[in-house]
């Protein structure tokens, strides 16, 4: 049999293999949250509040807004959203955002950029677009810088001091960043092995800050490797560390038909240790993807079955892209209840 045929067969058999590995697993079904992101004002919508299949809202909060000045924290938005949702029988899961996907937006506090102790606080990350070269797509905090990481740890501890046990959980954004393969293009102090160790240290700090609420890292890809051929142990090491410390895992996109997701985060989520929680978001474009077997657009039911049966997720964060949100997601989740 030709190699490309073998690869294709393995790609389509992978879901069955993962499902078989989990057969007989006694567990609860995933909890369904609506991922409103920055659209916090939409938590008042009756279609959301009245849907008994929806557990709560998944909202995004920017580091810069939560810490407008050094050591001065502003949690009024979290407090207001949490109290409003609680009055309506809904829960809150939050995402702490230190990375942007727009070069005009920086999500870290100004003091990180102004104080030389933090090396500028942020760095431009980019995406490779073939002949067009590497195109900047936003700013990411200098996660590999111990001084910057210490400031994020203090923020996490401050959030936990007030909200641990009141929040369903908190997640850190995706580990995937791009600086190119040429070390001359890398930000000062950055290197893939350094970044890997820094992510593990941030995981330990985040898990240590919260005793009750779940803590999840969106570990989708790691720079400096490309699975399966170039495996440096970075992504696998992140998942192994999560199992050791009780950290949750997941990712920003539920894309079971994509090759790169199949080779990176999805099998690691499915193979996580018992007791390690997991959550994945259904974000913009996920429901526009194609089922490679049928040639049809994927459905909400397909994604839910994959999430519950094969990934054994604890949380699904459904996005609000239309027409899928109103037409497909809300009715489907309502029927689950």
pLDDT given for residue 14 in this prediction: 41
In a domain, 32, yes or no: no
**267 Cβ contact list (under 8 Å, min separation 6):** 14, 18
DSSP codes joined into one string, 159-227: HHHHHTTTSSEEEE--------S-GGGSPTT--HHHHHHHHHHHHHHHHHH-SSSEEEEE----TT-BT
Would you say 244 and 204 are in contact if contact means Cβ atoms under 8 Å apart? no
In a domain, 30, yes or no: no
Would you say 80 and 59 are in contact if contact means Cβ atoms under 8 Å apart? no
Q: Is 3 helix (H, G, I), strand (E, B) or coil?
A: helix
Cβ count near 212 (within 10 Å): 11
Total length of the chain: 337
Start-to-end C-alpha separation, the chain: 47
In a domain, 214, yes or no: yes
Tokens of 298: 């994927």
In a domain, 162, yes or no: yes
Q: At what angle do helices 76-87 and 146-163 cross, to 10 degrees?
A: 40
pLDDT given for residue 16 in this prediction: 36
In a domain, 27, yes or no: no
pLDDT given for residue 252 in this prediction: 96
Q: Identify the CATH number of the domain in which residue 218 sits.
A: 3.20.20.80
Q: How many domains is the chain partitioned into structurally?
A: 1
pLDDT given for residue 29 in this prediction: 93
In a domain, 298, yes or no: yes
Over its length of 337 residues, how does the chain's per-residue pLDDT go in tens digits?
Answer: 433 333 433 333 344 333 333 333 455 899 999 999 999 999 999 999 999 999 999 999 999 999 999 999 999 999 999 999 999 999 999 999 999 999 999 999 999 999 999 999 999 998 765 555 678 889 999 999 999 999 999 999 999 999 999 999 999 999 999 888 789 889 999 999 999 999 999 999 999 999 999 999 999 999 999 999 999 999 999 999 999 999 999 999 999 999 999 999 999 999 999 999 999 999 999 999 999 889 999 999 999 999 999 999 999 999 999 999 999 999 999 999 7
Tell me how far apart the alpha carbons of residues 101 and 126 are, in angstroms, rounded to a whole number. Answer: 9
**275 Cβ contact list (under 8 Å, min separation 6):** 246
pLDDT given for residue 28 in this prediction: 82
pLDDT given for residue 128 in this prediction: 65
Rounded to two decimals, the pTM is: 0.90
Would you say 92 and 59 are in contact if contact means Cβ atoms under 8 Å apart? yes
In a domain, 180, yes or no: yes
In a domain, 31, yes or no: no
Domain that holds residue 322: 3-22+38-336
């Amino acid at each position: 049999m030709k190699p490309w045929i073998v690869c294709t067969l393995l790609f389509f058999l992978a879901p069955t293999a993962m499902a078989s590995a989990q057969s007989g697993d006694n567990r609860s079904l995933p909890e369904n949250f609506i991922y409103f992101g920055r659209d916090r004002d939409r938590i008042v919508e009756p279609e959301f509040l009245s849907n008994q299949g929806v557990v709560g809202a998944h909202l995004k909060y920017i580091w810069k807004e939560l810490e407008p000045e050094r050591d001065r924290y502003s949690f009024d938005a979290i407090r207001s959203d949490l109290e409003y949702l609680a009055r309506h029988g809904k829960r809150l899961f939050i995402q702490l955002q230190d990375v942007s996907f727009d070069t005009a937006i920086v999500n870290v506090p100004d003091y990180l950029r102004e104080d030389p102790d933090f090396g500028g606080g942020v760095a431009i990350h980019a995406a490779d677009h073939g002949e067009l070269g590497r195109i900047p797509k936003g700013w990411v905090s200098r996660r590999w810088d111990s001084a910057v990481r210490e400031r994020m740890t203090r923020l996490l501890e401050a959030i936990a001091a007030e909200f641990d046990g009141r929040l369903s959980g908190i997640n850190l954004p995706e580990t995937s960043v791009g600086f190119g393969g040429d070390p001359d293009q890398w930000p000062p102090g950055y290197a893939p092995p350094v970044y890997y160790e820094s992510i593990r240290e941030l995981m330990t700090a985040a898990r240590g800050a919260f005793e009750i609420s779940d803590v999840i890292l969106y570990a989708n890809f790691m720079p400096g490797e490309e699975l399966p051929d170039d495996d440096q142990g970075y992504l696998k090491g992140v998942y192994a560390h999560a199992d050791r410390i009780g950290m949750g895992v997941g990712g920003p996109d539920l894309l079971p038909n994509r090759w790169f997701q199949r080779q990176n985060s999805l099998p690691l989520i499915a193979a996580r240790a018992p007791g390690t929680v997991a959550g994945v978001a259904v974000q913009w474009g996920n429901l526009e993807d194609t089922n490679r077997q049928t040639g049809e657009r994927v459905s909400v039911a397909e994604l839910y079955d994959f999430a519950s049966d094969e990934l054994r997720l604890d949380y699904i964060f459904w996005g609000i892209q239309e027409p899928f949100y109103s037409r497909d997601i809300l009715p489907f989740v309502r029927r689950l209840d």
